[in-house]
Amino acid sequence: MSLLMMCGELQEKSRTKPRPEEQTETGVSLRRLIASAFTGLHRKILEQGGEYVLKGGRGSGKSSFVSVELWLTLLRHPNMHAVVLRRVGNTLRSSVFTQLQWAAGALGIEQMCRFTLSPMEAVYEPTGQKILFFGMDDPGKLKSLKVPFGYPGVLWFEELDQFEEEQVRSTEQSVLRGQGPFYCFKSFNPPPLEQHWVNRWTRTPRPGRQVHHSDYTQMPASWLGEKFLDDARFLKQENPRAYRQEYLGIPAGLGDSIFDNIAAEPIKDREIRRFDRIMAGVDWGFYPDPWAFNRIHYDAARQTLYIFCELTCYKTVNRETAQKIKNLGVGPKEQITADSAEPKSVEDYREQGLFCRGAVKGPGSLGYSFHWLQGLRRIVIDPDRCPDTLKEFLEYRYERGKDGKVLPGYPDRNNHHIDAVRYATEPVWGRRGNQ
C-alpha cells in the first residue's frame, strides 16, 4: 500500500482502532512517529480542517508532531501546498526546515522530496506540491506568494508567541483564501506572563479551534534521552518555577520580577581562572545614562551564567573606557560585543587594540535574548565585584497598566548592565534563535 493510500484510509481505520498503527510502504509505523498524547488530535486532523494550536514546554513533541502531520495532510490533498512561518527568516533553516527534512525521512518519502535553500522550499516530486518557508521580517516575499497549481491549504506558525497578534491575523487572511479545506497549525512555548496576547488568545474559545497542551512527561523516554531527563530533574529541584515554565509549558507568573533565577554569590579567583568561555559586552553611555561593561562566563552543561566583572562610568570618553578594559587584562583576542547603535564607538575600540564588534540587532533579538536569560537555571552575580549589575537584575521589573495588570515587553530603563550582558552572550543565544 502506498503512503498516499494509507493516509486516505486512516480516517476509517481510526474509528475502530484506539491508536493509529498503519504502516508506510517502507514499514514505518505512525505509532512510532506520533506519541500517544497526540492520538486524539491526529484523528481530528484526519476528520476535518481547522485551526490546531499546540502548546507545551521543552521536549513536548509538538514541533515533531506538526511536521509529520503537515506531510500527511499534503499527501491526502494532492492539490494543496503549505506555507511555514517563523518571526525571523534566518531561524528557518535550523528549525522548521530541518524538522520537515526529518519528518520526510521518518515517513520514508525523503527520496521523493527535494529540499532547496534558495529559494527555501521543499517539493514532493511525484505531485509537484511545495512547502514554502518565510520569515515575517521580510513580508514582501509572503505578499508575492505564488504556487504552481492548486492553493496554499496548510499554514504553520512556529513559535507563535514571537509574532504580533495582528501579523498572525493578516497572514491567515491573505494566505488561506478560496474554497478550502484549510489546516492552520500554531505551535509555541507559553511565555511566562499570563497577560501575553498568545496566552489570552488560547483561553478564548472559537469554533474550529483545537487547543492541545503536551509536556515531556507524555513523551517516550527514548525519544528524549537521559541527558534531557537529567536536566529536567535538576531544574525541577533547583528552580521549580522555571521548571514549570520551561518543561511543563505552564506560564510561571513571574509577577513584577523579570528575573527569578538570580543568585548573589561570591565568585572566587580560582573559579575565574578555570573559566574557559569568557565573553564581554558593552552598553554605550555618557550622561545621564552610564557606560556599562561586563565580563561573563557561560557554563552550558549547567545552564548557568557567571557575571564576575563590571565597570560603570559617567562622562568618560571612549579612549579612557578602552584603557580601563585593557587594565582588567582583556587582550586583543577576547571578543567584546557592543551596542551596534554607535558604530563610531566600536571603531574607536578597534583603534585602541580591542577586538570589538557591534551586536546584531535583528527583529526578535531583544525578546529572544531576554527569554534565553530568563530560561537559564541560574545567573550567578558576585555582589562585591558587580554591585551595579546585581542591583539592575534584582530590581528589573515588568510594567503594569492602568488596570494593574502586568504588561508584556521589557522596559528600556535602568538596564545598562543587563544590556551589556545580553550583548556579551549573543554568540550563544544568537546561534539558537533570533538575531
Catalytic residue annotation: 159
Q: What is the SS3 assignment for 423?
A: helix
Distance CA 370, CA 196 (A): 15
Distance CA 245, CA 252 (A): 5
Contact 308, 386 (CB under 8 A): yes
Largest CA distance in the chain: 77
Place of cell 526578535: 364
Closest C-alpha to 370, from 346, 398, 404: 398
Which residues are registered as beta bridge partners of 80?
151
Distance CA 200, CA 185 (A): 18
CB atoms within 10 A of CB 289: 13
Sequence-separated (6 or more) residues with CB below 8 Å from residue 79: 149, 150, 151, 153
Distance CA 38, CA 50 (A): 16
Distance CA 425, CA 70 (A): 35
